[in-house]
Structure 1
Amino acid sequence: MADHQKIHPVVEVEAPPTRPLVAHGSYKPEKCEQVLYQPPFRRTFPVAHSNPPKKRSCCCKCMCWTISLLILLLIIIGITAAILYVVFKPKLPQYSIDSLRISNFKLNFDMSLYAKFDVKIIANNPNKKIGIYYEKGSQLSVWYSSTKLCHGSLPKFYQGHQNTTLINVALSGQTRAGSTLMAALQEQQQTGRIPLDLNVDVPVSIKLGKLKLMKVRILGGCMLIVDSLSANNLISIKASTCKFRLKL
C-alpha cells in the first residue's frame, strides 16, 4: 500500500501591517493604540550664584558684634562707676567769696576804664577719700551787666581730703568806652547796690586714693551785690549766690 502523505496547507505569516504614510498632522490613532508623548528637549544651564549675599551676611555679623561689644563696654563702665560712687561717695566742692577789695579803678586819658580787683575765695573739699588737683588754664572774670571789668586765674595747687583753702586771686582788665561805663556805675552806686557777676571756669583732676583720673572742668559763678566800687576801700558784699557744676 502506498504511503499517503498529508500535505498541510502552508499558512503565510502575515507581516505586521505597515502604517500608511500620511501627511504630518493627519494621522489619527486608533482607540486602543497608545501614543507616547515625548516633551521637547530643553537644554538647562547651571545657575551661577553671585557673592554679594555672602558679603552682606559678613557685614551684618560685624555690625552685630560691634554693637554687642559697645553695649558690653557701656555695661562695664556703668558698673565701675556705680562701684566707685558707692566706695568714694563723691561730693561737689563748695566755693564762696570771702572778701572783695578794689585796688585800682580809674578812667584813663584814652577814655578806657582800668580796674584791678583782689578777691579772696573760700574753696571747701568735703570729700573724705577724694583729692582735687587745680590745674593750669583756669579763667575767672568779673562782669557788670554785659561788660567785662577784669579777669585772672587761680594758682595751681592740690587740695586734700576735707580741706578748706583760702585762695587769693588778683583780677585786672581794661575796658573801652570807659566814660559811659563809669557814668552808669556812679549812678548805680548812689543806690548802694551794684550787681556784679564772677564767672569761673577751672580745670581740675580728681584723685581717688592713689589714682589720678582725667581732667574735668568746674563751671559756674557767683552773683554779688556790693555797696560801692571805690578804690583802696574794702567793699561790703551785701548778697552772694554761687552755683557750680562739673563738666566732663
Structure 2
Amino acid sequence: MEKTRTQMTGDKPKIHPAVDVEAPPPTAPLISRGLATSEKGGSSQSQQQPPLPLRTMPAAMQSSKPQKTRSCCCKCVCWTVGLLVLLLVIVGATAGILYLVFKPKIPNYSVDSLSISDLRLNFDMSLYAKFDVKITANNPNKKIGIYYEKGGLLSVWYTNTKLCAGSIPKFYQGHQNITKLDVSLTGQTQYGSTLLRALQEQQQTGRIPLDLKVDAPVSIKLGRLKLRKVTILGDCLLVVDSLSTNNLISIKASNCRFKLKL
C-alpha cells in the first residue's frame, strides 16, 4: 500500500537522520555564552560588580620624588656656600698679597699755622669768620700714590658749632711726598652774639679749644692701577691762645686722628 501511495502521489520519500542516543548534548562556544550572559544581565552586572581598583605605585616609588627634590636643593645650597667661601678665600688672599707687596699706610696731616682774617658780627646778629690754615700732608707710602679728588672739605668747629669751612684743592701726591696746603675758610653762624661772647670769655683763659675736621675723598694708585674712591676722615683737636684778627695765633696743643672710610 505504501509503494502504491508513493507512486500515486509522486512525492519523494523523506529521509530522517538517525539520532545517536549515546552522544553528549551540543554545547555553545565560550565566547557566545559570555556574550549571551552579558546581554541578558548587562545592566545589573555593571551595578553589582565594583570597578577594578587603579593600579597604584609602590610606596618606595612615591616617596622617591620628594627625596630627589630635597637632594637637589641640598646640592644647590652646598654649591652656593662653597662658591662663596672660595670667593672669600680668593679676595682675602688677594688683599693679603697686596698688603704684603705695597704695605699701605694712612697719610698723616699736621696743622702748621692758623690765622684769623676776620671775625665780626653782622647786622643780622650772625657771626662771620674767615680763617687761614696752613696744613702739611705727608704720604709715607713707597709704592702708593694718592689722588685728592674734588669735594674735599676742611672745617673749624667750636663746641659743636661750625665757624667756617673751605675746600681742599684737587691734586696728586706721589710716593713719599710731602705737600703743604694753604686753605682759606669762611663761614657765617646764627646766634653770633652768644657765640662771640663765649669765645671772648674763653680767650681770657688763654686756652681756646677748636676742632679742625678733614673730609677728603681720594683715589689710591697701586703701581699703574687706580682704585675706586675712599674717604680720609680726620679730626684735629687744637688749643690756641687767642682769636685776635690779623695776628699769628699760637697753637698750644694739637691731637690729630685719621681713618679711611670705604
Task: State the TM-score, normalized to the length of structure 1.
Answer: 0.79
Counterpart selection for 1:45 from 48, 56, 60: 56
The aligned runs of 1:17-166 (5 Å cut-off) are 45-47=56-58, 49=62, 51-166=65-180
Residues 194-221 of structure 1 deviation map (CA, whole Å, 9 limit, x = unaligned): 0000111111111111111111111121
**Matches of 1:121 and 1:245 in 2, distance apart?**
17
Give the AA of the match of 1:112. Answer: S
Pick one of 210, 213, 216 that aligns with 2:227.
Answer: 213
Task: Point out 4+ residue stretches in structure 1 off by more than 6 angstroms.
Answer: none
Structure 1: runs of 5 or more not aligned: 1-41
Specify the code of the residue in structure 1 equivalent to 2:124: D
Q: What CA deviation, in whole Å up to 9, does each residue of 1:26-75 have, x standing for no partner?
A: xxxxxxxxxxxxxxxx9773247374443333222222111111111111
SS state of the match for residue 121, structure 1?
Answer: strand
Distance (Å, rounded) in 1 between the aligned partners of 2:214 and 2:66:
57
Q: Output the CA distance in 2 between the equivalents of 1:155 and 1:69.
A: 44
In the alignment, residue 241 of structure 2 is paired with which amino acid?
D
Cα distance in 2, alignment partners of residues 234 and 52 from structure 1: 82
**Residue identity matched to 2:71:** S
C-alpha distance in structure 1 between counterparts of 2:96 and 2:218, whole Å? 22
Bigger drift between 55-64 and 201-210 goes to 55-64
Partner of residue 167, structure 1 = 181
Quote the Cα distance in structure 2 between the aligned partners of 1:108 and 1:46: 93
Map 1:192-207 → 2, pairs under 5 A: 192-207=206-221
The alignment covers a number of residue pairs equal to 207
Q: Secondary structure at the match of 1:244?
A: strand
Letter of the 1:99 partner, please give it. Answer: S
Indicate the RMSD between aligned Cα atoms, in angstroms: 1.7
Instruction: Report the alpha carbon displacement of residue 186 of structure 1 after superposing the two structures with TM.
Output: 0.4
Deviation for aligned residue 1:243: 0.6
Say whether 1:179 aligns with 2:193: yes
Higher helix share: 2
1:6 corresponds to: none
* % identity of equivalent residues: 73
2-side partners of 1:187 and 1:53: how far apart? 81
Question: How far, CA to CA, are the matches of 1:127 and 1:155 in structure 2?
Answer: 21
Which deviations, in whole Å up to 9, do the C-alpha atoms of 1:133-167 show, x marking residues without a partner? Answer: 11112222111012110112211110001100001
Match of 1:20 in 2: none
Find the aligned partners of 1:74 and 1:153 in 2 and give their Cα distance: 38
Residue equivalent to 2:241? 227
Please tell me whether Structure 1 or Structure 2 has the larger radius of gyration of its CA atoms.
2
The residue aligned with 2:37 is none
1:101-121 Cα distance to aligned partner (Å, 9 max, x none): 111111011100001111111
Name the counterpart of 1:188. Answer: 202
